[in-house]
Amino acid sequence: MSTYTVKFWRLLDRSMLKFSKGWIILRYWPFFKLGPGCELGWGVRVKPFWGLMNKRNTILQVELCGDNRIGEGTIFKGSGKIRIGRRSYCSENCIFGVNEQIEIGEDVMIGPAVSIRDTDHVFSSTGIPMMEQGVDVSPVTIEDDVWIGHGAVILRGVTLGKGSIIAASAVVTKDVSPYSIVGGIPAKIIGSRSYGI
């Protein structure tokens, strides 16, 4: 393959990428509020919940406050509001499931394949199929300067304190105090940024 052919394909890839990002914004503009300097990766998708899944008749809202990067293949779904503070980013293939609210502070680092959800299915009755029992919803709050490792899962009602670290593949079911390091399933304190590990 000649040098000119390679340059042509690189140029075409760049122009398609720019077109794709523009297409993403045009297609999903009702759901996004974008601050300055925001970047959406290839394949970012929005899946709003309509009908039975959205009994409150609210619309999914994603607010990026500025200088945010959203990694390739990330999915925003639900009928609630997610707000991501300045300079916070997520890597590729993350999932945000929001039917009430997810609040993410500033300077937050979210690794690849992280799942953050403010909703759980109700399963208290064995006489009714779980899919017919509805959902429990509680907001998730992630304070400033938090690092969430690859593949971690953050469940409903959780607050991650300022400066905390969530280890890779951890499943967080309870609040995490500031500057704590947690890991495991379910996540437990394994160290502290204040006192060492």
Percentages helix, strand, coil for the chain (3-state, rounded to 5) are 15, 35, 50
Query: Side-chain half-sphere of 86: how many Cα atoms within 13 Å?
Result: 4
The distance from CA 54 to its chain's CA centroid, rounded to whole angstroms, is 19
CA distance 170 to 188: 9
150 counts as catalytic: no
The active-site residue out of 10, 14, 27, 121 is 121
Residues counted in the chain: 197
C-alpha torsion sign, points 181, 182, 188, 190: negative
Task: State the catalytic residues.
Answer: 121
